[in-house]
Structure 1
Protein backbone atom coordinates (compact mmCIF):
# COMPACT_ATOMS: atom_id res chain seq x y z
CA UNK A 1 0.00 0.00 0.00
CA UNK A 2 1.28 3.44 -0.93
CA UNK A 3 1.47 6.24 1.60
CA UNK A 4 -0.30 9.60 1.61
CA UNK A 5 3.02 11.22 0.71
CA UNK A 6 3.43 8.83 -2.26
CA UNK A 7 -0.03 9.79 -3.51
CA UNK A 8 0.59 13.51 -3.02
CA UNK A 9 3.83 13.19 -4.99
CA UNK A 10 2.07 11.22 -7.75
CA UNK A 11 -0.55 13.96 -8.16
CA UNK A 12 2.14 16.63 -8.32
CA UNK A 13 4.08 14.51 -10.85
CA UNK A 14 0.91 14.24 -12.94
CA UNK A 15 0.46 18.00 -12.73
CA UNK A 16 4.04 18.54 -13.94
CA UNK A 17 3.56 16.07 -16.79
CA UNK A 18 0.35 17.81 -17.89
CA UNK A 19 2.05 21.19 -17.68
CA UNK A 20 4.74 19.95 -20.06
CA UNK A 21 2.20 18.52 -22.53
CA UNK A 22 1.24 21.60 -24.54
CA UNK A 23 -0.48 19.47 -27.19
CA UNK A 24 -3.02 18.05 -24.71
CA UNK A 25 -3.60 21.46 -23.15
CA UNK A 26 -4.57 22.93 -26.48
CA UNK A 27 -7.13 20.20 -27.16
CA UNK A 28 -8.86 20.14 -23.80
CA UNK A 29 -11.54 22.64 -22.87
CA UNK A 30 -12.27 21.38 -19.39
CA UNK A 31 -12.54 23.52 -16.28
CA UNK A 32 -13.66 21.41 -13.33
CA UNK A 33 -12.94 20.89 -9.67
CA UNK A 34 -11.43 17.52 -8.86
CA UNK A 35 -11.41 15.41 -5.72
CA UNK A 36 -9.26 12.33 -5.30
CA UNK A 37 -10.45 10.12 -2.45
CA UNK A 38 -8.20 7.28 -1.33
CA UNK A 39 -10.34 4.59 0.22
CA UNK A 40 -7.53 2.53 1.74
CA UNK A 41 -5.83 5.50 3.42
CA UNK A 42 -8.88 7.50 4.46
CA UNK A 43 -7.26 10.52 2.83
CA UNK A 44 -8.22 12.90 0.05
CA UNK A 45 -6.80 15.62 -2.16
CA UNK A 46 -8.49 18.20 -4.29
CA UNK A 47 -7.56 20.61 -7.04
CA UNK A 48 -8.76 21.94 -10.35
CA UNK A 49 -8.41 20.79 -13.93
CA UNK A 50 -8.27 23.80 -16.21
CA UNK A 51 -6.95 24.22 -19.76
CA UNK A 52 -5.36 20.77 -19.62
CA UNK A 53 -3.54 21.52 -16.38
CA UNK A 54 -3.97 20.14 -12.88
CA UNK A 55 -3.57 23.07 -10.50
CA UNK A 56 -4.08 24.04 -6.87
CA UNK A 57 -3.55 20.51 -5.50
CA UNK A 58 -4.04 20.46 -1.78
CA UNK A 59 -4.84 18.01 1.00
CA UNK A 60 -8.44 17.41 1.96
CA UNK A 61 -11.67 16.57 0.21
CA UNK A 62 -13.95 18.79 -1.86
CA UNK A 63 -17.44 17.32 -1.49
CA UNK A 64 -18.73 19.63 -4.24
CA UNK A 65 -16.09 18.61 -6.79
CA UNK A 66 -17.49 18.10 -10.29
CA UNK A 67 -15.12 15.16 -10.86
CA UNK A 68 -14.34 12.67 -8.11
CA UNK A 69 -11.86 9.83 -8.35
CA UNK A 70 -12.55 7.26 -5.62
CA UNK A 71 -9.79 4.68 -5.63
CA UNK A 72 -7.02 3.03 -3.65
CA UNK A 73 -3.56 4.45 -3.24
CA UNK A 74 -1.98 1.71 -5.37
CA UNK A 75 -4.47 2.26 -8.21
CA UNK A 76 -3.77 6.00 -8.15
CA UNK A 77 -0.03 5.39 -8.45
CA UNK A 78 -0.58 2.88 -11.27
CA UNK A 79 -2.86 5.30 -13.13
CA UNK A 80 -0.43 8.19 -12.85
CA UNK A 81 2.48 5.93 -13.89
CA UNK A 82 0.56 4.87 -17.00
CA UNK A 83 0.31 1.25 -15.83
CA UNK A 84 -3.47 1.38 -15.47
CA UNK A 85 -5.75 2.55 -18.24
CA UNK A 86 -8.34 5.12 -17.22
CA UNK A 87 -11.05 3.14 -19.00
CA UNK A 88 -10.55 0.34 -16.47
CA UNK A 89 -11.34 2.85 -13.73
CA UNK A 90 -14.56 4.30 -15.14
CA UNK A 91 -16.57 2.94 -12.20
CA UNK A 92 -14.20 4.76 -9.85
CA UNK A 93 -14.71 8.17 -11.46
CA UNK A 94 -17.80 10.19 -10.71
CA UNK A 95 -18.32 12.75 -13.45
CA UNK A 96 -20.71 13.49 -16.25
CA UNK A 97 -20.15 11.36 -19.38
CA UNK A 98 -18.83 14.26 -21.46
CA UNK A 99 -16.20 15.05 -18.84
CA UNK A 100 -15.16 11.38 -18.78
CA UNK A 101 -14.50 11.49 -22.52
CA UNK A 102 -12.38 14.61 -22.08
CA UNK A 103 -10.45 13.07 -19.19
CA UNK A 104 -9.39 10.17 -21.40
CA UNK A 105 -7.54 12.67 -23.60
CA UNK A 106 -5.81 14.13 -20.57
CA UNK A 107 -4.58 10.91 -19.01
Structure 2
Protein backbone atom coordinates (compact mmCIF):
# COMPACT_ATOMS: atom_id res chain seq x y z
CA UNK A 1 0.00 0.00 0.00
CA UNK A 2 1.36 3.40 -1.02
CA UNK A 3 2.11 5.88 1.77
CA UNK A 4 0.89 9.47 2.02
CA UNK A 5 4.39 10.63 1.08
CA UNK A 6 4.47 8.39 -2.01
CA UNK A 7 1.06 9.69 -3.10
CA UNK A 8 2.12 13.30 -2.64
CA UNK A 9 5.31 12.60 -4.60
CA UNK A 10 3.21 11.05 -7.39
CA UNK A 11 1.03 14.17 -7.54
CA UNK A 12 4.15 16.36 -7.68
CA UNK A 13 5.53 14.21 -10.51
CA UNK A 14 2.19 14.52 -12.33
CA UNK A 15 2.40 18.30 -11.91
CA UNK A 16 5.88 18.29 -13.44
CA UNK A 17 4.59 16.19 -16.35
CA UNK A 18 1.80 18.73 -16.92
CA UNK A 19 4.31 21.58 -16.92
CA UNK A 20 6.30 19.81 -19.66
CA UNK A 21 3.24 18.95 -21.80
CA UNK A 22 2.99 20.20 -25.36
CA UNK A 23 0.21 20.91 -27.87
CA UNK A 24 -3.38 20.06 -26.87
CA UNK A 25 -2.22 18.59 -23.57
CA UNK A 26 -0.52 21.88 -22.70
CA UNK A 27 -3.75 23.76 -23.46
CA UNK A 28 -5.72 21.41 -21.23
CA UNK A 29 -3.20 21.76 -18.42
CA UNK A 30 -3.52 25.56 -18.58
CA UNK A 31 -6.99 25.49 -16.97
CA UNK A 32 -7.52 27.35 -13.71
CA UNK A 33 -9.54 24.97 -11.51
CA UNK A 34 -9.71 23.75 -7.94
CA UNK A 35 -8.62 20.11 -7.66
CA UNK A 36 -8.95 17.37 -5.07
CA UNK A 37 -7.58 13.84 -5.02
CA UNK A 38 -9.05 11.52 -2.39
CA UNK A 39 -6.81 8.53 -1.72
CA UNK A 40 -9.46 6.09 -0.61
CA UNK A 41 -7.37 3.42 1.12
CA UNK A 42 -5.54 6.04 3.20
CA UNK A 43 -8.68 8.18 3.64
CA UNK A 44 -6.65 11.29 2.84
CA UNK A 45 -7.46 14.11 0.43
CA UNK A 46 -4.95 16.31 -1.33
CA UNK A 47 -6.58 19.63 -2.20
CA UNK A 48 -5.16 22.34 -4.37
CA UNK A 49 -5.38 24.18 -7.65
CA UNK A 50 -4.53 23.50 -11.28
CA UNK A 51 -3.23 26.69 -12.87
CA UNK A 52 -0.46 27.84 -15.16
CA UNK A 53 0.06 24.28 -16.37
CA UNK A 54 0.73 22.87 -12.89
CA UNK A 55 -1.07 21.41 -9.91
CA UNK A 56 -0.29 23.05 -6.61
CA UNK A 57 -1.22 21.03 -3.50
CA UNK A 58 -2.26 23.41 -0.72
CA UNK A 59 -3.68 21.02 1.88
CA UNK A 60 -3.54 17.41 2.98
CA UNK A 61 -6.77 16.61 4.79
CA UNK A 62 -8.00 13.58 6.69
CA UNK A 63 -11.07 11.99 5.12
CA UNK A 64 -13.00 12.88 1.98
CA UNK A 65 -12.81 16.44 0.66
CA UNK A 66 -14.87 18.83 2.79
CA UNK A 67 -15.51 21.13 -0.18
CA UNK A 68 -16.42 20.17 -3.72
CA UNK A 69 -13.50 20.96 -6.02
CA UNK A 70 -14.13 21.67 -9.69
CA UNK A 71 -12.06 18.59 -10.63
CA UNK A 72 -12.32 15.63 -8.26
CA UNK A 73 -10.35 12.39 -8.37
CA UNK A 74 -10.67 9.38 -6.08
CA UNK A 75 -8.61 6.18 -6.13
CA UNK A 76 -6.39 3.91 -4.06
CA UNK A 77 -2.84 5.09 -3.39
CA UNK A 78 -1.25 2.25 -5.35
CA UNK A 79 -3.40 3.17 -8.36
CA UNK A 80 -2.34 6.83 -8.12
CA UNK A 81 1.33 5.87 -8.09
CA UNK A 82 0.83 3.37 -10.96
CA UNK A 83 -1.05 5.93 -13.08
CA UNK A 84 1.66 8.55 -12.74
CA UNK A 85 4.40 5.97 -13.38
CA UNK A 86 2.62 4.87 -16.58
CA UNK A 87 1.93 1.37 -15.27
CA UNK A 88 -1.87 1.79 -15.21
CA UNK A 89 -3.95 3.02 -18.14
CA UNK A 90 -6.27 5.82 -17.02
CA UNK A 91 -9.12 4.98 -19.42
CA UNK A 92 -9.18 1.32 -18.35
CA UNK A 93 -8.94 2.22 -14.65
CA UNK A 94 -11.72 4.78 -15.00
CA UNK A 95 -13.90 2.39 -17.00
CA UNK A 96 -13.50 -0.36 -14.40
CA UNK A 97 -14.24 1.99 -11.48
CA UNK A 98 -10.75 1.88 -9.97
CA UNK A 99 -10.44 5.61 -10.59
CA UNK A 100 -13.26 8.12 -10.21
CA UNK A 101 -13.12 11.45 -12.00
CA UNK A 102 -15.81 14.07 -11.55
CA UNK A 103 -15.85 17.45 -13.23
CA UNK A 104 -18.09 19.65 -15.31
CA UNK A 105 -18.73 18.51 -18.87
CA UNK A 106 -16.57 21.25 -20.41
CA UNK A 107 -13.69 20.37 -18.08
CA UNK A 108 -14.02 16.66 -18.90
CA UNK A 109 -13.69 17.42 -22.61
CA UNK A 110 -10.55 19.46 -21.97
CA UNK A 111 -9.09 16.88 -19.56
CA UNK A 112 -9.41 14.06 -22.10
CA UNK A 113 -6.55 15.72 -24.00
CA UNK A 114 -4.27 14.86 -21.08
CA UNK A 115 -4.88 11.12 -21.48
- Normalised TM-score (structure 1): 0.82
Name structure 1 gaps, 5 residues minimum: none
Runs of 4+ in 1 over 3 A off after TM superposition: none
Whether the 8 Å contact between 2:46 and 2:57 is mirrored in structure 1 is no
Change (3 A) 1:32 1:95: same
Q: Compute the displacement of 1:22 (Å).
A: 4.5
- Normalised TM-score (structure 2): 0.77
Output one character per residue of 1:24-83: Cα deviation in whole Å (capped at 9) or x when no partner: 32x225221110001100111011112432124431245220111011101111111122
Q: Compute the displacement of 1:101 (Å).
A: 2.3
Cross-structure match for 2:12: 12
Change (3 A) 1:86 1:98: farther
Alignment of 1:1-107 (within 5 A): 1-23=1-23, 24-25=25-26, 27-28=27-28, 29-60=30-61, 61=65, 63-88=67-92, 89=94, 91=97, 92-107=100-115
Change (3 A) 1:71 1:105: same
Name structure 2 gaps, 5 residues minimum: none
